[in-house]
Amino acid sequence: MKSRFFVLLAVFVVALFYAQSASAQAKDWVVPDKYKKMENPVKADKESIAKGKTLWNLHCKSCHGKDGLGDGPKAANLDTPAGDFTTAAFKKQTDGALFYKSWIGRDEMPNYEKKIPDKEDVWHLVNFMRTF
């Protein structure tokens, strides 16, 4: 009886540790300094924002939603939230960090190096995301 209790306790502790670890990974997205410090070389003018919106509608809207609220039609099927791009936490990120996350991706956020091979286009996306 005691051994069964300790086995169940051990399983519970391991499950709790795993859940906390997975939660921490979902929250902390480490961006290399090289990217954090990158300056956006594309001026955020009407043309750039329009290009970014077109790319957003093609590649991002299905998960992140029309207005960047993380409420796109595919968002409900994700294991991790798609994020709300209207928050102060999102807005305080550098353009380079947004570039990295949008282009490189991780976990359920796909890598776009082949889908959007022109880095300038990713900068247009960053400029559009700044409009939320």
- Domains of the chain, residue spans: 1-29, 31-129
Average pLDDT over residues 45-57: 98
- Which of residues 63 and 17 earns the better pLDDT score? 63
Q: What pLDDT was estimated at residue 27? A: 64
Task: Kindly tell me the burial class for residue 82, based on how many C-beta atoms sit within 10 Å of its own C-beta (0-12, 13-18, 19 or more).
Answer: buried
Please say whether the beta carbons of 72 and 64 come within 8 A. Answer: yes
Q: What is the pLDDT of residues 22-36, one digit of tens each?
A: 443 446 899 999 999
Q: What is the DSSP string of 38-50?
A: ----S---HHHHH
In the predicted structure, residue 6 carries a pLDDT above the cut 70 = no
Q: Helix (H, G, I), strand (E, B), or coil: what is residue 127?
A: helix
The predicted-structure confidence for 91-130, as pLDDT tens digits, reads as follows: 999 999 999 999 999 999 999 999 999 999 999 999 999 9
Cα separation, 14 vs 84, whole angstroms = 31
Contact 82, 70 (CB under 8 A): yes
Q: Considering the domain 31-129 in this protein, what is its CATH number?
A: 1.10.760.10
pLDDT of residue 18: 41
Q: How far apart are CA 119 and CA 29, in angstroms?
A: 21
- pLDDT at residue 1, as a whole number: 63
Instruction: Provide the pLDDT confidence category of residue 68 given band limits of 50, 70 and 90.
Output: very high
Q: What is the mean pLDDT of residues 77-98?
A: 96
Residue 23: CA atoms inside 13 Å, Cβ hemisphere, count? 6
| pLDDT value for 2 | 60
HSE value, Cβ hemisphere, 13 Å, CA-based, for 59: 25
